[in-house]
Each structure stands twice: as structure tokens, then as C-alpha cells.
Amino acid sequence: MKRRPELTLGPVYFLWDGPRWRDFHFRIADEAPVERVVIGETVCSKRQHFIEPHLAEVIERLERAGKTVILSSLALVTLEREGRQIRELAEERDHLVEANDLSALGLFAGHAHTVGPLVNVYNGATARLLAARGATRICLPPELPFTSVEKIAADAPDVALEVFAFGRTPLAISARCAHARSKGKIKDNCLFVCGDDPDGLTVKTLDRQPFLSLNGVQTLSHTCQTLLGDLPDLVDAGISSFRLSPQTCDMVAVARLYRDVLDGKRDGADALASLADIYPDAPFSNGFHHAREGAAFIARSRNASG
């Protein structure tokens, strides 16, 4: 008998000020139907001090509400102090930690941990290897088409797999900060201008078409990956949980929609219409899932199968 599919709330990729970040997670703890929450700075170590004063109380509130808390590691480690952060996380035993960089995978090996969507896991052999080294759950990269996800699930049936099901898709991360450069700053003296764009800064093509979104040193899609209509196929393929990446919208309402579709209480197409009202700031996409360009959206009919 298959277990009930679960929901994971991913880390906040954007720079939100400390009180906003804290209050967001307090509401998630009290109202969102998610089983686990990943917290911690993932994109830029310079942002860590914004959330550091609130970490303990956020963890306590989430755990009191019955959520599993996972501590996120950085996606790119370039400085000694960042290396120290990863080494400190590797010593963490009270909570699971999530690897988002190959350097973290080496340090976390031998102890239970999770693997985030920023680590390239493109086949079942890799998934099995990571599981043998201690990974209890792997969130697959969002660019994988369904055929690859299905094959990995079939080749690694004993590995708990997660799919990135909502949010602007993480595409790249750099040691340089294009976000700061776009506002006439440099990374070392950025003045945290990324905080001016708490849902990302839109990048347009030369003919003024929205193309990407900047988030500090991270590049995201302009579109929001949305797999509401594709959830049944993914569940049938063996995916056990689905990740929702926080955006500037009512994430409790987003989680409830996904929960209702997974529980068979709502049709994916109907839920998608509601999602458009909840998050109107970015067009939806699921092109990667359908082996198309990532920005495409492939509509599913109510009676579509496969």
C-alpha cells in the first residue's frame, strides 16, 4: 500500500528581513499542511545574519506544530567562513541537514541527511549511491523531464524521492552577484540591494520580454514551475513528496491546494485556476516536466492520462 504523498516547504531563497522571515514560518507552523520545512540561508552567506536571531524560535515553533525541520546548507561554497559553516552543519545531530553542494555531500556522508534540488541527480545509480552514503530523501533537479524522474524512481525504488513542484525554478548560481551589478553595486559592498526585490528581479530580453529572475548570486526562471496537473502521474511513478518553494504570495493557500489535489479532493485544472489568483505575479510553466523548454506550459485535460 502506497503511503500518502507528503509536502515539503523548501528554504526561502530570497532576502526577506528577519521579522518577515520569522513570521512567515510561524504561520507555516500553525496553518500549512506540510510535513517538513527546510530552513536556513541557501543562496548567499552574507544574508545569514538577517535570520540568525530568529532560527531557534522558528525551529521550536515548527517542531511544536509537528513539522520536521531540516537545516539547509549553502548552494555554493567559495570562502573559508562558508566552509566553516558547512563543517559546523556536518556536526549537527539534532536535526537533519540538506546538502545543496558537492562539498557538503562529502562532509555529510555517513550520517542521515537529505539532498536538495541544486545537486545534480540524473540517474538511479546516483540516487542509490547517495542513499548508501546516508541520504534519506533526495529532491530531484527541477529540469528533469517526467520520463527521467520515472526511470530514476524505477531504478531506485527504495530511495525516497521528492520533486520540485512549485516556485521559480533555480537555474544557476555564481560567485559574482549580477543582482548587485544591475543596481550599480559590487558584491563586496552590495548594501543588500537584493532585499529590494523579495520575489526576484525580472531580467528582460533586448525586446523587453521577461526572461529570467535575479536573486543575488542566484539565477531563477521568470516563470513559476507548477506541477498541479502532473501530480497524479508523479505519485503513480513512485514520488513520495513534493517541494513548494516560497514565493511572495500566500504559501499556506498554495500548500492547501497541493494537499487537496494530492488527496483527490480537487481536480488539477480547477486548482490551477485558484493558484493563478493566489500568485498572479509570474506565468506558470511545466515545460521541463514535459521535455520542452522550461518556460512552456503544457495544459492537461481533465481526462488526460500519461
Helix (H, G, I), strand (E, B) or coil at 91: coil
pLDDT value, residue 93:
87
pLDDT value, residue 304:
43
Q: What is the block-wise mean pLDDT of the chain (306 residues), using blocks of 10 residues?
A: 88 97 98 98 95 97 98 94 92 94 92 96 97 97 98 96 98 94 91 95 94 96 97 96 98 98 94 96 96 92 43
Scored b (16 or more CB within 10 A) or e, 171-186 reads: eebeeebbbbeebebe
Q: Could you tell me which CATH number the domain at 6-167+225-281 has?
A: 3.20.20.70
pTM of the predicted model as reported, rounded to 2 decimal places: 0.95
CA angle centred on 38, ends 32 and 40, rounded to 5°: 125
Across the chain, which distance is largest between two alpha carbons, in Å?
57
pLDDT value, residue 195:
96
CA distance 114 to 118: 12
